[in-house]
């Protein structure tokens, strides 16, 4: 049995005749007829009833058509899979990531992807989530790993991959720094009303977390020091210029020494997700990268 015979048989059944099938397949009608006769001989069953006016499937033809179409669909799927694989092997992926990624091991994920697809050109850009979402809009990045805020526009699709938490950081030796007597007890947000804060600018997700926590505790936070990145927040706090709320990932990353305190009530932080633009078709390489990130996620 040949693939050509299955293709010819399906075309005759779908189009209702040998002539139409031959025209659709751009072959001679005699070639279609010969292949169908050979197929019937091999199967030992008549697949069509033929009259001068019409061609119709027999009962055997009806049964065989269902399996024939499944076989052709599987072959078509295999062709697409192989085409995707070829595209992955020679593709390009640009990934954007924030400094805040929760418990997700991004370097390991990128290393695994690079080992699996060494021919893919993989690049990484860092920034705040608002900046990276703008790059998704512009098409300059394919995927973003970062916080998924509740107001994420509907044009973006996000898949959760990790959790994140908010903590307070203070300079070493500060009166609110963790001490043996405190035994790691949470610090009330209301106790921070007189503290100067270091934070990202107004409009950022972190600033919204600080403002909301302070409002619920009955005060407006004083923010004399605004800066552009979580790393610089930590540097300014370590220098004794204020305290800050920060994602635990950023608070525990390498950098100047700070003391970390839990807060009461605990402040929610958006979960970490892998984000792409719904209206931008992901390349085969980008789809494979997204799949790799999800597979290695500590939470799904």
**61 Cβ neighbours under 8 A, 6+ residues apart:** 13, 46, 47, 48
pLDDT at 181: 44
pLDDT at 285: 87
pLDDT at 78: 84
162 and 299 in contact (C-beta within 8 Å)? Answer: yes
Architecture of domain 166-264: 3-Layer(aba) Sandwich (3.40)
What is the gyration radius of the CA atoms in the chain, in angstroms?
Answer: 31
Using CA atoms of 100, 239, 257, 144 in order, give the dihedral in degrees to the nearest 10.
Answer: 10
- Tokens linked to 119: 């021919």
Query: Residue 10's closest CA among 41, 39, 30, 43?
Result: 39
> What pTM did the predictor assign?
0.65
Give SS3 for 11: helix
pLDDT at 180: 40
Same fold, 91-162+271-295 and 166-264: yes
197 and 278 in contact (C-beta within 8 Å)? Answer: no
Phi, psi of 146, rounded to the nearest 5 degrees: 180, -175
152 and 158 in contact (C-beta within 8 Å)? Answer: yes
Query: Residue 101's closest CA among 143, 134, 140?
Result: 143
Architecture of domain 3-88: Orthogonal Bundle (1.10)
What is the spatial distance between Cα 122 and Cα 48, in angstroms, rounded to a whole number? 54
Domain 91-162+271-295, CATH homologous superfamily name and number: Periplasmic binding protein-like II (3.40.190.10)
Which helix (DSSP H) or strand (DSSP E) does residue 163 occupy? Answer: none
Enumerate the β-bridge partners of residue 14.
Answer: none
Tens-binned pLDDT, residue by residue, of the chain (300 aa): 788 888 988 898 898 889 889 999 899 989 988 999 999 898 899 999 887 677 889 989 899 999 999 998 888 888 777 776 666 667 889 999 998 888 899 999 999 998 888 888 899 999 889 999 999 999 999 999 999 998 899 999 999 999 999 999 999 889 888 654 444 688 999 999 999 999 999 988 899 999 999 999 999 999 999 998 899 999 999 999 999 999 998 898 888 999 999 999 998 899 999 999 999 988 888 998 999 999 998 864
pLDDT at 280: 94
DSSP per position, 235-246: HHHHTTS-BEEE
What are the residue ranges spanned by the domains of the chain?
A: 3-88, 91-162+271-295, 166-264
């Amino acid at each position: 049995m040949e693939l050509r015979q299955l293709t010819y048989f399906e075309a005759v059944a779908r189009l209702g005749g040998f002539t139409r099938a031959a025209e659709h397949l751009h072959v001679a009608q005699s070639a279609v007829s010969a292949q169908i006769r050979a197929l019937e001989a091999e199967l030992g069953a008549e697949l069509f009833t033929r009259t001068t006016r019409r061609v119709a499937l027999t009962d055997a033809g009806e049964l065989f058509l269902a399996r024939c179409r499944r076989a052709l669909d599987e072959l078509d799927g295999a062709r697409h899979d192989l085409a995707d694989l070829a595209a992955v092997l020679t593709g390009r992926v640009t990934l954007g990531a924030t400094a805040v990624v929760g418990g997700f091991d991004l370097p390991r994920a990128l290393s695994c992807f690079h080992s699996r697809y060494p021919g893919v050109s993989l690049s990484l850009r860092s920034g705040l989530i608002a900046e990276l979402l703008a790059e998704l809009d512009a098409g300059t990045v394919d995927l973003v790993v970062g916080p998924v805020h509740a107001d994420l526009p509907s044009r973006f699709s996000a898949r959760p991959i990790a959790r994140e938490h908010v903590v307070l950081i203070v300079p070493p030796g500060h009166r609110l720094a963790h001490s043996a007597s405190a035994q790691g007890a949470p610090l009330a947000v209301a106790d921070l009303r007189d503290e100067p804060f270091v934070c990202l600018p107004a409009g950022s997700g972190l600033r919204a977390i600080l403002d909301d926590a302070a409002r619920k505790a009955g005060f407006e936070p004083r923010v004399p020091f605004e800066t552009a990145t979580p790393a610089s927040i930590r540097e300014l706090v370590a220098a004794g210029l204020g305290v800050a709320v920060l994602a635990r990932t950023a608070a525990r990353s390498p950098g100047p020494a700070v003391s970390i305190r839990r807060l009461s009530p605990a402040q929610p932080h958006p979960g970490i997700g892998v984000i792409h633009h719904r209206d931008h078709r992901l390349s085969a390489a980008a789809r494979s990268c997204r799949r790799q990130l999800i597979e290695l996620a500590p939470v799904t």
